[in-house]
Protein backbone atom coordinates (compact mmCIF):
# COMPACT_ATOMS: atom_id res chain seq x y z
CA UNK A 1 0.00 0.00 0.00
CA UNK A 2 1.21 3.44 -0.93
CA UNK A 3 1.89 6.03 1.78
CA UNK A 4 -1.05 8.43 2.31
CA UNK A 5 -0.80 12.14 1.50
CA UNK A 6 -1.57 14.08 4.69
CA UNK A 7 -2.45 17.78 4.63
CA UNK A 8 -4.13 20.25 6.94
CA UNK A 9 -6.29 23.32 6.56
CA UNK A 10 -7.25 26.04 9.01
CA UNK A 11 -10.04 28.62 9.15
CA UNK A 12 -10.57 30.72 12.28
CA UNK A 13 -10.53 28.16 15.12
CA UNK A 14 -11.26 25.12 12.92
CA UNK A 15 -8.48 22.71 11.97
CA UNK A 16 -8.98 19.93 9.42
CA UNK A 17 -6.61 17.06 8.62
CA UNK A 18 -6.99 15.05 5.42
CA UNK A 19 -5.40 11.71 4.57
CA UNK A 20 -5.60 10.87 0.84
CA UNK A 21 -5.29 7.22 -0.22
CA UNK A 22 -5.67 5.60 -3.63
CA UNK A 23 -9.10 3.99 -3.74
CA UNK A 24 -12.63 4.15 -5.07
CA UNK A 25 -13.84 7.63 -4.03
CA UNK A 26 -14.97 7.11 -0.41
CA UNK A 27 -14.97 10.32 1.65
CA UNK A 28 -15.43 10.20 5.43
CA UNK A 29 -15.59 13.24 7.69
CA UNK A 30 -15.18 12.52 11.42
CA UNK A 31 -16.25 8.91 10.84
CA UNK A 32 -19.36 9.63 8.76
CA UNK A 33 -19.76 9.60 5.00
CA UNK A 34 -19.86 12.89 3.08
CA UNK A 35 -23.48 12.33 2.03
CA UNK A 36 -24.48 12.36 5.73
CA UNK A 37 -22.41 15.43 6.63
CA UNK A 38 -24.29 18.57 7.78
CA UNK A 39 -26.55 20.36 5.26
CA UNK A 40 -26.53 20.50 1.46
CA UNK A 41 -24.75 23.86 1.08
CA UNK A 42 -21.86 22.78 3.33
CA UNK A 43 -21.61 19.43 1.51
CA UNK A 44 -21.30 21.32 -1.79
CA UNK A 45 -18.65 23.64 -0.36
CA UNK A 46 -16.63 20.69 0.96
CA UNK A 47 -16.88 18.73 -2.30
CA UNK A 48 -16.04 21.73 -4.52
CA UNK A 49 -12.35 20.79 -5.02
CA UNK A 50 -13.36 17.21 -5.87
CA UNK A 51 -15.87 18.40 -8.48
CA UNK A 52 -13.29 20.72 -10.07
CA UNK A 53 -10.57 18.04 -10.04
CA UNK A 54 -13.00 15.49 -11.44
CA UNK A 55 -11.19 12.40 -10.16
CA UNK A 56 -12.90 9.74 -8.06
CA UNK A 57 -9.94 7.38 -7.69
CA UNK A 58 -8.96 8.54 -4.19
CA UNK A 59 -10.28 7.87 -0.70
CA UNK A 60 -10.28 10.75 1.79
CA UNK A 61 -10.31 10.39 5.56
CA UNK A 62 -10.97 13.76 7.20
CA UNK A 63 -10.88 14.77 10.86
CA UNK A 64 -11.98 18.25 11.86
CA UNK A 65 -12.04 19.95 15.26
CA UNK A 66 -12.83 23.37 16.67
CA UNK A 67 -14.74 26.33 15.31
CA UNK A 68 -18.24 26.32 13.89
CA UNK A 69 -19.83 24.50 10.96
CA UNK A 70 -18.86 27.08 8.33
CA UNK A 71 -15.28 27.40 9.56
CA UNK A 72 -14.91 23.62 9.57
CA UNK A 73 -16.30 23.37 6.03
CA UNK A 74 -13.80 25.96 4.78
CA UNK A 75 -10.92 24.24 6.60
CA UNK A 76 -11.91 20.87 5.07
CA UNK A 77 -12.20 22.44 1.61
CA UNK A 78 -8.70 23.92 1.91
CA UNK A 79 -7.15 20.66 3.16
CA UNK A 80 -8.80 18.58 0.40
CA UNK A 81 -7.57 20.96 -2.31
CA UNK A 82 -4.03 20.88 -0.92
CA UNK A 83 -4.07 17.07 -0.83
CA UNK A 84 -5.33 16.86 -4.41
CA UNK A 85 -2.59 19.25 -5.57
CA UNK A 86 0.06 17.05 -3.93
CA UNK A 87 -1.53 14.05 -5.65
CA UNK A 88 -1.65 15.77 -9.08
CA UNK A 89 0.52 18.90 -9.61
CA UNK A 90 -1.49 20.03 -12.68
CA UNK A 91 -4.45 20.91 -10.46
CA UNK A 92 -2.57 23.81 -8.81
CA UNK A 93 -3.15 26.11 -11.79
CA UNK A 94 -6.79 25.00 -12.13
CA UNK A 95 -7.56 25.69 -8.46
CA UNK A 96 -5.67 29.01 -8.52
CA UNK A 97 -7.70 30.27 -11.48
CA UNK A 98 -11.01 29.10 -9.99
CA UNK A 99 -10.62 30.39 -6.42
CA UNK A 100 -7.40 31.31 -4.66
CA UNK A 101 -8.89 30.40 -1.25
CA UNK A 102 -8.83 26.75 -2.30
CA UNK A 103 -5.05 26.74 -1.78
CA UNK A 104 -4.31 29.75 0.45
CA UNK A 105 -5.73 30.00 3.96
CA UNK A 106 -8.03 32.91 4.81
CA UNK A 107 -6.19 34.35 7.83
CA UNK A 108 -8.87 36.78 9.00
CA UNK A 109 -9.85 36.44 12.67
CA UNK A 110 -12.45 38.08 14.88
CA UNK A 111 -11.26 41.38 16.32
CA UNK A 112 -10.58 41.23 20.06
CA UNK A 113 -12.65 43.21 22.55
CA UNK A 114 -10.99 46.39 23.79
CA UNK A 115 -10.18 46.96 27.48
CA UNK A 116 -13.09 48.22 29.62
CA UNK A 117 -15.57 47.60 26.80
CA UNK A 118 -17.68 44.66 25.76
CA UNK A 119 -17.38 45.24 22.01
CA UNK A 120 -14.44 45.30 19.62
CA UNK A 121 -15.30 48.57 17.86
CA UNK A 122 -18.24 50.74 18.95
CA UNK A 123 -17.75 52.77 22.10
CA UNK A 124 -20.43 53.14 24.73
CA UNK A 125 -22.59 56.23 24.32
CA UNK A 126 -21.62 59.00 26.68
CA UNK A 127 -24.29 60.93 28.56
CA UNK A 128 -23.63 64.40 29.99
CA UNK A 129 -26.97 64.88 31.75
- The predicted-structure confidence for 88-107, as pLDDT tens digits, reads as follows 999 999 999 999 999 999 99
Q: What backbone phi and psi angles, to 5 degrees, belong to 118?
A: -95, -5
- Domains of the chain plus CATH, in order, are 5-102 (3.30.230.10)
Low-confidence ranges of the chain (pLDDT < 70): 1
SS3 72: helix
How far from the centroid of its chain's Cα atoms is residue 51's Cα?
15
pLDDT value of residue 96? 94
Query: In this structure, what DSSP letter does residue 125 have?
Result: P
Amino acid sequence: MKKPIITKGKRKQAIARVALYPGNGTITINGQLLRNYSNESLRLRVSEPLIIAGNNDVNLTITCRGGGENGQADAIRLAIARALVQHDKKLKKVFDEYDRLLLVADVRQNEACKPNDSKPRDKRQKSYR
